[in-house]
Amino acid sequence: MSYAIARPYANAINMLATTNKAQQSWLAFFDGLVRLANDASFESMVKHPAISDEMIHEVIKTALDVKDKHHDNLLRLLIENNRLDNVVSLRDVLKKMFLEANNEVHAVVKSAHKLSTSLEKKVKAFVMQKFNAKDVELSSQIDASLVGSLLLEVDGKQIDWSIHSQLNKFKEQF
């Protein structure tokens, strides 16, 4: 689902989810949809011509134990508009909207090794100060090729704390 398609769905959901509790409920609902969408047997069932939209709806509703009427209505809409294969994009756009609404950011830190708890706290504090955020959702990625490096990505911006980057800055000064 392109951003242009995901955005109207996310806007509507964002208007419904006025509390943090409701936001968490929507994210949990989408996490379940994403798990289903990534299942090969589910994908083949959805694409099978003999399976009706109502059958797909009942399978998903049962699998995810959908009780919220808004979740159910969105589920029906996604099925009717053939958007089930795009729930990952929709979840990502929605998550970003929720973070922004709560003055939070998502940051990804990449390094050769798992960060210590102390270093994670320092990275979070740095991001909170640099991006004027109330809180930081921090994801870590291990990349063995990043020896002597720490890369940080926040809102499309990358901060490179690698030895290579520092040496290049040093060269530029002289």
pLDDT at 61: 96
Residue 58 and residue 26: Cα distance in Å, rounded? 19
Contact (Cβ atoms closer than 8 angstroms) between residue 152 and residue 159: yes
Q: Domains of the chain (ranges plus CATH)?
A: 3-99 (1.10.520.20), 103-173 (3.40.30)
pLDDT above 60 for 1: no
Token pair for 62 = 């049962």
Could you tell me the pLDDT band of residue 86, with boundaries at 50, 70 and 90? confident
pLDDT digit string, tens, across residues 23-80: 999 999 999 999 998 999 998 998 899 999 999 999 999 999 999 999 999 999 999 9
pLDDT at 160: 80
Residue type, 171: K
Check: pTM over 0.85? Answer yes or no: no
pLDDT digit string, tens, across residues 92-147: 899 989 988 888 999 999 888 888 899 899 999 999 999 889 999 899 989 888 77
Residues 6+ apart with CB under 8 A from 131: 105, 154, 155
Contact (Cβ atoms closer than 8 angstroms) between residue 107 and residue 134: no
